[in-house]
Amino acid sequence: MKNKKEIDLTISNFIGKKGSLIPLLQEIQKLEGYLPKETLRYLSQKTKIKLARIYGVATFYSMFRLKPQGKHIIRVCKGTACHVSGAEDIGKAIRKELKLGELEDTTDDGLFTVMEVACLGCCSLSPVMMVDDNTHGKLTPEKVTEFLQKYK
């Protein structure tokens, strides 16, 4: 565990509070970048929440990642409005620019993780993607390539 001290602090902030498992996992993911197995095991020991329950929750929600993820998260919208406005081509352009294979989602240099999401709430500017917390709209495959250069 990289951030044991911070994790301990987070756990002690939440311990005993009702309904705290999801925010706890969110905080841990923020610290560690993802949810490593050993950290979940540690969490289970400290909180006395059964590991199976933790794992059940961690696998239910799409935001939780059990594998390491890139420094920047790219969320490509595959919602209805974006779908009819060419989201497919945007996704392809991103994958091409980052040289990602069909089943890969994180670049070899650990810089980017690409995910698909169902709607970013900016449908009026479709197609849309979100890089970390910044949303970019009215995309074209060319614009995407340009944006990604900036983050590299």
Site residues, ligand FES (CB under 6 A): 77, 79-82, 119-123, 126, 128
- Give the DSSP letter of residue 112: E
Residue 29 to residue 63: CA distance in whole angstroms: 9
Taking the C-alpha atoms of residue 128 and residue 87, their distance in angstroms, rounded to an integer, is 8
64 forms part of the interface with another protein (CB under 8 A): yes
Binding characters for another protein, 2-41, by CB under 8 A (x = yes)? ----------------xxxxxx-xx---------------
Q: Looking at 73, 113, 126, 144, which residue binds another protein (CB under 8 A)?
A: 126
When asked if residue 130 is in the footprint of another protein (CB under 8 A), the reply is yes
Burial class, 19, CB count within 10 angstroms (exposed 0-12 / middle 13-18 / buried 19+): exposed
Segment 96-104 long-range contacts (CB within 8 Å, at least 24 positions apart): 97/144, 97/145, 97/148, 98/148
Please name which of 89, 75, 78 lies closest in space to residue 133, comparing C-alpha atoms.
75
Phi first, then psi: what are they for 63, rounded to 5°? -75, -25
Choice between 109 and 146, CB closer to another protein: 146
- Give the nearest distance from C-beta 90 to ligand FES in angstroms: 10
Q: Counting contacts by CB under 8 A, is residue 100 touching another protein? A: no
Q: How far is the C-alpha of 87 from the C-alpha of 89, rounded, in Å? A: 5
CB of 151 to another protein, least distance (A): 16
Residue 10 binding partner per list ligand FES, another protein, none, with a CB distance cut-off of 5 to 8 Å that depends on partner kind? none
Q: Is 67 in the site for another protein (CB under 8 A)?
A: no
Query: Which residues here bind another protein, judged by CB under 8 A?
Result: 18-23, 25-26, 56-57, 60-64, 75, 79-85, 117-126, 128, 130, 133-138
